[in-house]
Amino acid sequence: MAALTAALVGSTVTGATAQSHSETSILIYSEKNRIRATEGNFTLSKQLKNDYTLNLRLTYDGLTGATPTGASPSRYAQTITRASGGKTIAVPAGEHPVDNSFKDTRFAAEAGFSRPLGRLNTATFGAHASSEHDYTSLGINGGIARDFNRRNTTLGLSLSVARDVSKPVGGYHVPFTDIEAEIDDDRETRLERFSGKKRNVYDVILSMTQVLDRQTLLLLNLSLNRASGYLTDPYKIISLVQAPDGGDPGEPVGAIFENRPDSRNKNAVFAELRRHLGRSTAGLQYRYFWDSWGVVAHSVDATLRFDFKQRGAIHPRVRWYHQSEADIYQPFLVQGVPLPAYASSDSRLAAFDAYTLGLTYSVPVRNGSRLNITAEYYAQRGDRSPPEAFGSLLSFDLFPKLDVIMLRLGYERDF
Amino acid sequence: MKIRRIASRAIVSLVISCLPGGCASVGVEVWERDVLSKPEMQLNHQANNRTIDDHIYFSKEAASGGRGFGGGGCGCN
């Protein structure tokens, strides 16, 4: 969806000749000791008559490996019941409990169509569908952009509506219930647990693209997103640990399913500056993000393209990201203390910094086609020992750090 | 809260001020777009790489959106 929107807002002010374009790529994604994924992508942007454009994107990915359950490490070996039911997980002493039976495939398709409306307006319409064995999403989007000031300014407004359905493996669990609790197996309960939980997602983007001078382009976006419905992660659990005055303070004694609010508003201000510098092109992006769960995030992404004329181009890239902790984030809950209204131990809602280092080499293979080879390293580092930790929790790294290597190979063609 | 109000208002004011007339002095003429029309100056340059990255960040970080639509379409573990 991101690609189609960017194409809408940026297509007119630069005066670039519209051209059909396709890219086929494969991505190998590998987290250290965790998830591995292989993803294939096909994108097509086809120019039709009367300046109509058709955009298509197909994605297929397969994931396997281990994902954190959200439970706390312990000084002793633990046995944890999987949220998806069935087998238990044996966790060695001192290690983060991970569910290593994670397996999923996803197929996603997006199609968009844009057409001029009069001399200065462009309208777009699109739809997407994606399917995993436990999650489906269907959505439509539309937008309008208008050029002003001798086509030096484009203002755009885009809207999107999506309907997602989550059908967790092992069925839906009542938030905050004990993961070991017996579940009634009567017909009515089964129907309720396996019927699927719905989520509606709405997006609005207000954008402005501005030519600043012969070499410089600026994009500014204000994006508003609202999700309502089932926002809880059905596979995440939280450990209940012994109180500071207990026999073994900080040691897990059980676990419950997490519970998130049923609505979330996400807002972002995004700016991108592109400047041509002779044989190189620099791009700088900044995003300020805040949401109704108390998360504030900053990201800065810088790219540079060095052109070697006939021998291709290289694009080094650096990204820094920081997010604050969500109000609902609780790495663990204390036994005997009343439960908060909501809680999740998902480390993606913790405070952390993330870094990306990347390099793409783009080499021409024939007239109008290129091979793109990308290698990226991505790392997340959070607070190893949050201030609320006590007892045996003080001896563990409570943020499951993440290290990822990504390799991509893409074949791009203009026609 | 203050930064959010200022940032949102700054964008809205910039957009409004660039309605006909406001930004007329900024920009170039049609015959001065030789550099801007190069593929590497397009905002959707390397769009495939950026879309793949955005999806990874969407599934690994709390923040999403900004450049494109912010949510939906993935259970994400």
Query: CB atoms < 10 A from the CB of A296, how many?
Result: 18
Please check whether residue B75 touches A, CB under 8 A. Answer: yes
Strands ordered across the beta sheet of A237-241: A252-257, A237-241, A333-334
What residue ranges in A149-279 does DSSP mark as E strands? Answer: 153-166, 197-213, 216-229, 237-241, 252-257, 263-277
Phi, psi of A349, deg, nearest 5: -105, 5
Please check whether residue B5 touches A, CB under 8 A. Answer: no
**Closest CA of chain B from A236, distance in Å:** 10
Q: Which residues contact A49 (CB under 8 A, 6 or more apart)?
A: none
Four-CA torsion B44, B46, B51, B57, nearest 10 degrees = -120
Q: Which of B7, B27, B43 sits opposite A9 (nearest CB)?
A: B43
A146, β-bridge pairs: A121, A155
Q: Which of B27, B35, B74 sits opposite A152 (nearest CB)?
A: B27
**Closest CA of chain B from A1, distance in Å:** 6
Interstrand relation of A21-31 and A98-117 (parallel, antiparallel or unpaired): unpaired
Q: What is the mean pLDDT of chain B?
A: 79
pLDDT reported for residue B48? 86
Of A410, A415, A402, A384, the closest CA to residue A32 belongs to A402
Residue type, A357: L
Reported as a single tens digit per residue, the pLDDT across A177-212 is 998 887 777 777 777 788 889 999 999 999 999 999
Helices H / strands E in chain A, number of each? 2, 21
Supply the range of the domain harboring residue A377: 2-414
Q: Which residues contact A30 (CB under 8 A, 6 or more apart)?
A: A36, A37, A404, A405, A406
Please check whether residue B16 touches A, CB under 8 A. Answer: no
What SS3 state is found at A356? strand
Q: Domain tally for chain A?
A: 1
Interstrand relation of A153-166 and A280-291 (parallel, antiparallel or unpaired): unpaired
What is the sign, positive or negative, of the torsion defined by CA atoms of A243, A246, A250, A253? negative
Residue for token pair 């480390």:
A347
pLDDT reported for residue A288? 98
Cα-only R_g, chain B: 18
Query: CB atoms < 10 A from the CB of B26, how many?
Result: 15
How far apart CA A236 and CA A168 sit, in angstroms, is 11
Buried b (16+ CB within 10 A) or exposed e, A62-76: ebebbbbbbbbbbbe
Taking CA–CA distances from A34, the nearest residue in chain B reads B77
Q: What is the ipTM of this complex?
A: 0.93
Reported as a single tens digit per residue, the pLDDT across A24-51 is 999 999 999 999 999 999 999 999 998 8
Of B15, B12, B65, B14, the closest CA to residue A291 belongs to B65
> Mutate which of A210, A232, A309, A411 to disrupt the B interface (most B C-beta within 10 Å)?
A210
Interstrand relation of A216-229 and A197-213 (parallel, antiparallel or unpaired): antiparallel
Q: Which residues contact A32 (CB under 8 A, 6 or more apart)?
A: A402, A403, A404, A405
How far apart CA A181 and CA A111 sit, in angstroms, is 45
pLDDT reported for residue B24? 64
CATH number of the domain at A258, please. Answer: 2.40.160.40
Please check whether residue A272 touches B, CB under 8 A. Answer: yes
Of A364, A313, A179, the closest CA to residue A254 belongs to A179
* Per-residue model confidence as pLDDT tens for chain A (415 residues): 444 444 444 457 887 877 899 999 999 999 999 999 999 999 999 999 988 999 999 999 999 998 889 999 999 988 888 877 767 888 998 888 888 887 889 999 999 999 999 999 999 999 999 999 889 999 999 999 999 999 999 999 999 999 999 998 888 888 999 988 877 777 777 777 888 899 999 999 999 999 999 999 999 999 999 999 999 999 999 999 999 998 999 999 999 999 999 999 999 999 999 999 988 999 999 999 999 999 999 999 999 999 997 789 999 999 999 999 999 999 999 999 999 999 999 999 999 999 999 999 999 998 889 999 999 999 999 988 888 899 999 999 899 889 999 999 999 999 8
Residue B70 has pLDDT above 70, yes or no: no
∠ CA A138-A141-A147, rounded to 5°: 165
pLDDT reported for residue A203? 95
